[in-house]
């Protein structure tokens, strides 16, 4: 028998979340719980996730923002919305944002499992998960969130820094705008937010990639290239290693 399918449940009501966890466990799935939008987005972006069950009314980041951010980095990851009865506008909006289906609360275990199975049957194979990036003998381990230099020194990356690297690798050969990074990595869509904040994060990330603490050290530019007027792009010589293959 193969590995269990992993399902992320993003639901802030503990009783509903626990009920869904029990349903999934009995059906042979591996449930992962998240009680707010931010935690749900992070859990959904982790490796090996097969499907996301997403409530809409969530603390920290609502379900629509989670779905929109997730679609930018994981366009084919199946998402089923959990929505209140009669909220037709919410269902329509969710489907337009890229949800694969919706389940109306309250729902039965039988209906929920049928919806999950139907979505998984018609979902195309997910793009390979990005595991590591390499430049020369230096490695960025996206799963462990760290940079490993040739002499074995390890430097921790924050979850957001690792996600920036994944985002650039996913769109290698293309410039990714600052606004897109703010939206897909940080979940920020307020046009008034100063995009220079991204530049500061990129500078710190480059310093970690180059093994330098100096703000003036430019070695990290081999990893992250500035495309004037457009944003940032993964360096041409950076190798991308995914589940089962490298490029």
pLDDT at 3: 63
DSSP per-residue string spanning 220-238: GGGTEEEETTTEEEE-TT-
Q: Pick from 27, 72, 30, 73: which is nearest to 51 by CA? A: 30
Element spanning 63, H or E: helix 63-73
Lowest mean pLDDT among 90-94, 121-125, 214-218, 229-233: 214-218
Task: Give me Rg for the CA atoms of the chain.
Answer: 19
% the chain with pLDDT above 70:
83
Per the model's pLDDT, the better-predicted residue between 210 and 244 turns out to be 210
pLDDT at residue 218 in the model: 45
- Backbone phi and psi for residue 30, each to the nearest 5 degrees, phi listed first: -110, 100
Range from 13-22, 86-95, 134-143 that averages highest in pLDDT: 13-22
List phi, psi (to 5°) of 117: -65, -40
- Flag whether pLDDT at 192 surpasses 60: no
Question: Kindly report the CA angle at 71 between 160 and 12, in degrees rounded to 5?
Answer: 75
Q: How does residue 245 score in pLDDT terms, banded at 50, 70 and 90?
A: very low
Distance CA 69, CA 67 (A): 6
Q: 122 vs 233, which has greater pLDDT?
A: 233
Q: Which domains does the chain have, with CATH numbers?
A: 6-122 (3.40.50.2300), 130-246 (1.10.10.10)
Q: What percent of the chain has pLDDT over 90?
A: 34
Q: What is the pLDDT of residue 145?
A: 86
Strands of the chain (E only): list them: 6-10, 30-34, 51-55, 79-84, 101-105, 130-135, 138-141, 146-148, 154-156, 224-227, 231-234, 239-242, 245-246
- Higher pLDDT residue, 16 or 166? 16
Digit-coded pLDDT (tens) for 115-165: 999 998 876 555 556 778 999 889 998 878 899 988 888 999 887 888 888
Main-chain dihedrals φ then ψ at residue 137, nearest 5 degrees: -100, 5
DSSP helix/strand/coil, 1: coil
Q: Rounded to an integer, what distance in angstroms lies between the CA atom of residue 176 and that of residue 28?
A: 39
């Amino acid at each position: 028998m193969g590995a269990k399918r992993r399902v992320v449940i993003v639901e802030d009501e503990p009783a509903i979340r626990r009920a869904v966890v029990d349903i999934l466990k009995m059906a042979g799935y591996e449930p992962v719980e998240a009680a707010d939008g931010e935690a749900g987005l992070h859990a959904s972006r982790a490796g090996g996730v097969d499907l996301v069950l997403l409530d809409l009314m969530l603390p920290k980041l609502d379900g629509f923002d989670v779905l929109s951010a997730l679609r930018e980095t994981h366009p084919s990851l199946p998402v089923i919305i959990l929505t209140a009865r009669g909220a037709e506008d919410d269902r329509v909006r969710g489907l337009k944002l890229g949800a694969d289906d919706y389940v109306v609360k309250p729902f039965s275990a039988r209906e929920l499992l049928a919806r999950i199975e139907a979505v998984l049957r018609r979902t195309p194979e997910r793009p390979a998960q990005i595991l590591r990036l390499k430049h020369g003998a230096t490695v960025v381990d996206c799963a462990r969130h760290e940079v490993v230099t040739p002499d074995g020194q390890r430097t921790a990356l924050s979850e957001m820094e690792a996600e920036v690297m994944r985002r650039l690798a996913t769109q290698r050969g293309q410039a990714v705008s600052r606004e897109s990074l703010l939206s897909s990595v940080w979940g920020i869509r307020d046009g008034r937010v100063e995009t220079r904040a991204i530049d500061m994060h990129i500078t710190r990330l480059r310093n970690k990639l180059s093994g330098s603490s100096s703000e003036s050290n430019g070695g990290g530019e081999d990893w992250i290239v500035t495309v004037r007027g457009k944003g940032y792009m993964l360096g041409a010589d950076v190798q991308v290693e995914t589940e089962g293959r490298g490029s």
